Amino acid sequence: MPPGATVTASWCDQTFFATVPLLLIVCCAAPSYLATHGEPRVPEDLANHVCLTYEYSPTRNVWTFRDADGREHQVRIAGSMHANNGQFNEALAAEGVGIAREPDFIIGPDVRAGRLKPILREFEPPPLNIYVVYPSRRHLSAKVRAFADFLVERFAKPEWGLPR
């Protein structure tokens, strides 16, 4: 497997899957919001901020972060805005309404344009992954191998991604 992918055996060593890091989840806010409300320095500071929540998040009002040592920080957040669309949350954040926590492919253009500023970069949320599941490495077809390699290479440095 190319760099960036991992292979894990499971289900009694009869099924294997490759893990491909897919996208980065980023906390961000408009410079105007940060100028008015201050910039959070640690995840726990989010309790004192307006956070824009996402309907389809499995833990809508709890945001998880990892510090440089790999320890998880779970923070209960609150906010007056709740949406079922990440681009709506991103637009609200860019207007200074609150802090958004969205994938880099959604917030990337506004970060590059200076409308949003990533925050809490020392405490990144766990990345989202995709998995290539196959029955055995022994008889792995060339097509499955090529597809897994393609995914790893394609998502290693996507054009929408932010510097990590």
> What confidence tens digit (pLDDT) does each residue in 111-150 have?
999 999 999 999 987 777 777 777 766 777 888 888 878 8
Q: How far apart are CA 54 and CA 81, in angstroms?
A: 9
DSSP 147: H
Domains of the chain as residue ranges with CATH: 6-21+128-156 (no CATH), 25-119 (3.40.190.10)
Closest by CA to 125, choosing from 20, 27, 6, 21, is 27
Digit-coded pLDDT (tens) for 95-111: 999 999 998 889 999 99
Name the pTM for this structure: 0.75
* Sign, Cα dihedral of 32, 115, 81, 55: negative
Q: How far apart are CA 110 and CA 107, in angstroms?
A: 6
Count Cα neighbours of 95 within 13 Å in the Cβ-side half-sphere.
9
Residue type, 88: F
